[in-house]
Chain A
Amino acid sequence: MDGALSIRSMSVAFGGVTALDCVDLDVGEREIVGLVGPNGAGKSTLVNGVGGQLEPSSGSVRLGGVRLDGLRPFQRARLGIGRTFQRVAVFPELTVREHLLVALRALDGDRTPWLRLLERSRPEPAESRRIDEVLSLVGLADRADALVSTLPLGACRLVEIGRALVGGPSVLLADEPSSGLDGRESATLTTVLHSLRERGTAVLLVEHDLALVAEVSHRVVVLDTGRVIAEGPFAAVMADPEVRRAYLGQVA
């Protein structure tokens, strides 16, 4: 029961195709774990299985000792799973600040939906402080009141990260946060991930950009055709011949 997130023998099958085959994976407290692997290895499937977006065929997920199995995505979010999506899932009609406010209040639980009905959607001072804190963490403080539909993709990814972080999650699932970003946007992302590392936020980072993974993660897990084929420190894992064959062989 050590660590933030522990996945035990998770399997996912789509029809006859086995996307994940008995995967074990742990993310410790204050640890950033890079999850890498070639396309179709099952990385996003794993993240969706943890986030509740799909129901695994078997296996279990615990967050700080609490079983998440069978819970719906919003329930998992309230228990401390924050996540971003490979294809950004933002709300174009809301401003950046409203994104964070919505998440902050929703994560509070909906014990009082009837009160929410007439509650003004303007942040309380305490909420404002928290939102500003997260906004400056993800570097969006100067664009807090912009409509998200007016922001470039890179900023949208940061909005997603901010939305996931605002409730203070036990673990952040970041699904390919760097895809589609230009150089400058990637640099901002790297800074954000570095500050997460300093603050001790547990992160499961699914990423194609190996340089980014090497730079920010404590540990790397390699997935290939639904199995974990290696895990450990970045340099050691990349030296593994099986990893080179399965993963780097395709890249090179």
Chain B
Amino acid sequence: MGTFLSYAIPGIPFGCTYAIVAVGLVLSYRTTGVFNFGFGSQAFVCAYVYTVLTANGVGVFPAFVISVVLLAPALGWMLDRFLFRHIDPANTTGKLVSAVAVFVGLPVLVGLVFGSATRFAPPTLFLNESQVYFHIFSTPINGLEFETVLVTLVTVLVLGAVLRSRRVGLTIRAAVESPRLLELEGVRSESVLSAAWMGSSLMAGLAGVLLAPQYPTLQSSDFAILLVAALAAAALGKLADLRLALVGGILLGVVDGLASGYFPPSSVWHTGLLPAIPFLLLAVLLVGRGRLRSFEDSGDPMAACDPPPPAPITATRSHELDRVVRLGGRVLAVATVVSVLTWVPGDWGFTFTEGLVYSIIFLSITLVTGMGGEVSLCQATFAGVGAFVAAQLAVHHGVPILLGAVLGALAALVVGAIGALPALRLRGLPLALLTLALALLADNAVFPYSWAGGPAGGLIVPRPEIGSVNLGTTSSKGFFVLALLILVVCALGVKLVQRATIGRYLDALRASPLGAEAAGINPSTAKVLVFGLSAGLAGLGGALFASLQQSVTTADFNYQLSLVFVVVVVTTGTRTVEGAIQAGIGFVVVQQLLSYLPGRWGTGGVPIILFALGSLTYAAHPEGMVEFQKRVWTERADRLLRRRMGPPEEMAIATAAIGGFDRAQGDGR
């Protein structure tokens, strides 16, 4: 019993840190209706500012006021005012993608503004960190731990009271359900939601400032991992119950404490299972808990008043213009290929090759998100499976890398299909969270092993050899051609699937799962198929990526990359094959261009911010920024042409009609 308590009690303050974040998550979900991935990043920003201020001689109290009382609500206000307010409450995917963009973008922004110097832990708020205040069952409790527990409890009590109160709590919950309906009752729902955002952001700031002293140095990844761990605690409270979230967080801390106590530090359990406990728990809760499955946002009762969504772009574009646009695209593609093969310098040639490989990985997002209608946050993990299988086979068994890539793709396909099985009844947010849990499980419990992700330094991966030609040594142009061929095959494959019966099934399932199933479509088969194929494509791309880089480490495929992938592809458009290719090329070209900039602007951060900003437009233009611009410009060109060629009025109408007809007749998508 004594041992048990001595392992369990130190877990409690640690669990309180989970609990704060979990409570913050539940609070922001309940008050704003947005599952705020950005919460971890908001906490990080406030903690960072607090750390910088205290390190520069500002007192703890003024630093706290600036970073938590002022900055945090301001951040929340901005997020609401400039971002989430513009997203329709029923648009689950839009909200999810925007929150992911905030999560990915904010820490990078902080790095850009403040530089990348190491920041050491800031001081605690009001208790002495190293002083032991008292013992519980002979376990010493220091100031940091005591403070964390105290603040957590007070916060939860105050918040619970506010939310339960008739006036404030009820109004906020009504505003979440349907802002427009609340307006009909004479309440300005905008200011209600603004206040809720500011409040929840204040929580994030508070959590951040409490968490920061617990780590030796301040790193955004700690906040990200903590956020995800807290998801499990929040899921225990069904994302609705603050008290259960609190208990869940503390329990998780205790379980962590017990596990690290009982499993010897060198055992497989300690290194593999321990870091994965929160993610395992999250996965189990998501799949197992009945009501969580349906916590998907209820539709806005006022949604029936909305106009129908616009018809797809191909339906409104005239036939000739469609042909011109396609021709233009082809000319550009051919010009790029010819340029790379002739006059483009080597580093840019490498960049374009990398872009082609990314395009293959991004095609997997076209499948799963564009066609399957689900956001997957583990595409980098699938790519990793392909890469590691190919690399291990090449290194240890001498399997040619191209054959290894195919086997790796098959392995990823199997993993994806099996991974889809527990997700069969999940959609939207819970499914996205499950994929995130999967990615984190792989990151923590699978990839670190040397039989999977290779030794600490990574694996050396060969370039392909075709006959006597080694594509690595003779010329990297050979690899470019190879990647191009594989990409073309994959792209054509995806297009075929889009036009095939299964593509129509997916269109139907995406639009109305209810109607599709009543029409006899088996949603489970479709989901397993689309996840499996998507994972296979990602795996193939991952293996090629490893071969291109000639080495692969676990860091190449961590979960953050999956988030970045989603953000990037969503920017250009998930619905079309062209969107994926533009995303792949754009991702690397922007990075390469920015690398010419001096100092911190030249590092990897800026492109991520650009794409994060781009993906924020997803909510307004679900077809993607590029597709949207295409539509705007072709419409403009269309009008110009009509004005020159004939009477505008009738022609425009006729064009619209013909456009719709063409779309229906041809295979035009």
Contacts and interface: CB of A to CB of B under 8 A. Distances in A.
B504 A121 contact: yes
A83 interface: yes
Nearest to B509: A91
A13 interface: no
A58 interface: no
Interface string A79-110: 00001010011111111011101110111001
Contacts of A72: 517
B332 to A, nearest CB: 27
Given A91-B512, A121-B499, A147-B315, A116 B518 contact: no
Contacts of A95: 664
A145 B665 contact: yes
A50 to B, nearest CB: 11
A94 B424 CA distance: 24
B1 interface: no
A167 B309 contact: no
B309 to A, nearest CB: 7
Contacts of A147: 311, 315, 660, 663-664
Contacts of A93: 312, 507, 511
Contacts of B308: 92, 149
A78 B520 contact: yes
Contacts of A164: 518-519
B37 interface: no
Given A77-B518, A92-B308, A113 B496 contact: no
A211 interface: no
A116 B505 contact: yes
B181 interface: no
Interface in B509-531: 511-512, 514-523, 525-526, 529
A93 B669 CA distance: 11
Contacts of A102: 501, 504-505, 508, 516, 519, 521
Nearest to B519: A103
A145 B666 CA distance: 11
The secondary structure that dominates the B interface is helix
B620 interface: no
B661 interface: yes
B520 A167 contact: yes
B496 to A, nearest CB: 6
A51 interface: yes
Contacts of A252: none
Contact of A85 (B309, B508, B515, B526): B515
For B315, B501, B518, which residue has the most chain A Cβ atoms within 10 angstroms?
Answer: B518
Contacts of B624: none
B665 A91 contact: no
B525 A110 contact: yes
Contact of B501 (A74, A116, A145, A146): A116
A163 to B, nearest CB: 5
A97 B507 CA distance: 14
Given A74-B522, A107-B519, A118-B497, A94 B311 contact: no
B529 A146 contact: no
A152 B501 CA distance: 26
A117 interface: yes
A89 B512 contact: yes
Contacts of A74: 517-523
A72 B522 CA distance: 9
Nearest to B521: A106
Interface of A: 51, 53, 72-74, 77-78, 83, 85, 88-95, 97-99, 101-103, 105-107, 110, 113, 116-121, 145-147, 149-150, 160, 163-164, 167
Given A116-B501, A118-B500, 4 more contacts: A89-B518, A90-B511, A93-B312, A116-B502
Interface of B: 308-309, 311-312, 315, 496-497, 499-505, 507-508, 511-512, 514-523, 525-526, 529, 660-661, 663-665
A-B pairs, top 9 by smallest CB distance, nearest first, are A89-B515, A145-B664, A106-B520, A77-B520, A91-B511, A107-B520, A103-B519, A89-B512, A73-B517
27 contacts: A51-B518, A53-B518, A73-B517, A74-B522, A77-B517, A77-B518, A77-B519, A89-B514, A98-B504, A102-B501, A105-B501, A107-B520, A110-B522, A113-B522, A117-B497, A117-B500, A120-B499, A120-B501, A121-B501, A121-B504, A146-B660, A146-B664, A147-B660, A149-B311, A150-B311, A150-B660, A163-B515
